[in-house]
Amino acid sequence: MSTIFAGIPSWAYVVNVTVLVLIGLVLHVTFSERSRLRRLAYRDTVTGLYNRNGLDRFWKKYNGKGNLAVMSLDLDYFKEVNDTFGHHMGDMLLRAVGKDLKRVTNKHQQAYRVGGDEFMIILKNCEPDTVEILAGLILGKICRPYYIEGQDIAITGSIGISMADGQRADQRRMQKEADVAMYRAKRLGKNRYTVYKSSKIIDIAKVEPLQVIKKKSSAN
């Protein structure tokens, strides 16, 4: 090493090392920023869940192994929350729901926010009983009143489910079936889940509905 730099003035050596360090820092920052932007492209900014881009990425990478289930979840009465309390409160409610979805899912289950108050949950390597248990857990979490900025806000959820063997799993078909079943759940009275099976929609379960919105009374 001393032989290589023997004829180079010390100041030039310092300059060269400094330039190399700066280049390294610039490259590190550049690649870190690109990685951050790629992550943001697949994340919903309100809830922190994966977004529709993330959902499409899952389907592109899906290898067709194991059973697969798709849940379509829509929040009941969300429009009323926005109209009554404003979009700021609506966003806070969505964030709280997103946290609950993270709490009840595991590494084989992933929640996505795909629209205003629309979510999808993908379950890999799942059995029908597991899917139904998770649907019940989600409904149970959502129907508890959320306390947000001094207000008790009670909503419910409607869930539609499509299930298939991994080799027969198809994004467009399963998402459409899950949506059809979800709208059926809404027509049946909301606050329940229905399953799409063999071109039929089967009403599986419901949860007793709560009052939609309860304003916290102010102290006299």
| Torsional class of 68: left (φ above 0), alpha (ψ -120 to 50), beta (otherwise) | beta
Cα–Cα distance measured from residue 204 to residue 84, given in angstroms and rounded to the nearest whole number: 32
Q: Is the dihedral of CA 193, 103, 156, 72 positive or negative?
A: negative
Establish whether 203 is a catalytic residue.
no
Beta bridge partners of 156: 76
SS3 letters across 48-95: CCECHHHHHHHHHHCCCCCEEEEEEEEEECHHHHHHHHCHHHHHHHHH
Identify the active-site residue in 44, 74, 117, 179.
117
Q: In whole angstroms, what separates CA 75 from the centre of its chain?
A: 13
SS3 letters across 131-157: HHHHHHHHHHHHCCCEEECCEEECCEE
Number of residues that this document lists for the chain: 220
Cα–Cα distance measured from residue 20 to residue 28, given in angstroms and rounded to the nearest whole number: 12
Catalytic residues: 117
